[in-house]
Amino acid sequence: MKFNQLRFFLAVFEEGSITAAAEREHATQPGVSSHIREMEKSIGATLFERTTTGMQPTAAATYFYPRARAILGQFKSLQADAIAYSGKVTGQVRVGLMPAFARSGVAPSIQNFTEQYPLVNLQVTEAYSGELTERVELGQLDFAIVPSAAVSKKLQAEHYATDTEFLVQSAHAGLPSLQTAHLSKIENLQLIVPGIKNSRRQSIEQYLQRHSIKPQRTLELDTMMATLNLIANSNWSAILPGILCAEDVVAQPGGGSRSVHPLGEGKLTLDYMLIRPAVADINPACERYLEMLRSSTEELLEKITRLIPAAPNS
């Protein structure tokens, strides 16, 4: 059994077709098919059933998949160790972040990383969770930070951090800065909510339903800057992650155009996860940037916790 056979086997298993596997591995379709046939011949078992809907894994393929994935991961880890041993950190790091992180949590890590590792090409993409997940699956990003959710077998996921959601409204709305807001007691509550494809939408709707909160009006917006500007200049408010509110929290009390408030009906948390391709290229540059990003995130969330009084548990 050869290394490339394992690589193409994993690609076909995860993509479900020869065409998609060939595109992912930058190979030809006949080449991928040939490697699969050779692997099947070497182990004496059929790995895929060729159907009109794609390549369906057999019991043998399902049995071999976890070990093949582990072996390929160990090989790439060995490659990364060899590069690190040379003492040079080069290459590129492609990161996907949600708008919340792009607004407040990313700048210190970018500055520190680019100063320490000038030979690395750092690329940061801002998008919502659905697009980021798709781009990691396609291998266009090395990793992304998204709200926790079920992921496909093309990805590996781990817990990254836990945030708290807050009510954000205009600084002129009347409620003193950083004081607890009881949504059920706010007259004529006008609430901006994320789009239906945004993973936070369901969590917010469940929270409102659980506490019998019925906004007078809702407005669906999936653009961060428009949401923040509308809040600052109108009677609209929104439930937003703490990491997105960091700049407004630091500006309080008495400063800034928006005020931030713990939710009086109970604490609403948001878990973030780190997602990577299932068989990820573990490169030293990527790991070092991730370490810096994680440190910046932890510092920011700790600062928010210190500045905002604790809300009651739900």
Burial of 42: CB neighbours in 10 Å, binned 0-12, 13-18, 19+: exposed
Q: 253 preceded by cis ω (within 30°)?
A: yes
Are the C-beta atoms of residues 242 and 165 closer than 8 Å to each other? yes
Q: What is the DSSP letter of 244?
A: H
SS3 assignment for 247-314: HHHHHCCCCCCEEEECECCCCCEEEEEEEEECCCCCCHHHHHHHHHHHHHHHHHHHHHHHHCCCCCCC
Domain with CATH 3.40.190.10 in the chain: 91-160+271-299
Q: In this structure, are residues 231 and 169 in contact, taking their beta carbons and an 8 Å threshold?
A: yes
Angle at 70 between CA 122 and CA 84, to 5 degrees: 40
CATH number 3.40.50.2000 is the correct assignment for the domain at 162-269:
no
Give the separation between CA 48 and CA 45, rounded to whole angstroms: 9
pLDDT digits (tens, 9 = 90+) for 88-114: 777 889 999 988 887 776 788 898 999
Q: Which CATH code for domain 3-85?
A: 1.10.10.10
Share the mean pLDDT of the chain: 87
E strands, the chain, are 48-51, 54-57, 91-97, 120-126, 143-147, 155-170, 190-193, 217-220, 237-241, 258-261, 269-277
CATH 1.10.10.10 in the chain, residues? 3-85
Q: Which fold has domain 91-160+271-299?
A: D-Maltodextrin-Binding Protein; domain 2 (3.40.190)
Percent above pLDDT 90 for the chain = 45
Looking at residue 192, its pLDDT comes to 97
pLDDT digits (tens, 9 = 90+) for 24-51: 888 899 999 999 999 999 889 999 998 8
Q: Residues 151-173: what's their mean pLDDT?
A: 91
Residues 171-195 have a mean pLDDT of 91
Binned at pLDDT 50, 70 and 90, residue 167 comes out as very high
Location of each CATH 3.40.190.290 domain in the chain: 162-269
The set of residues, in sequence order, having a beta carbon less than 8 Å from that of 74 and lying 6+ positions away, is none
Structure pTM? 0.71
Q: What is the mean pLDDT of residues 57-82?
A: 82
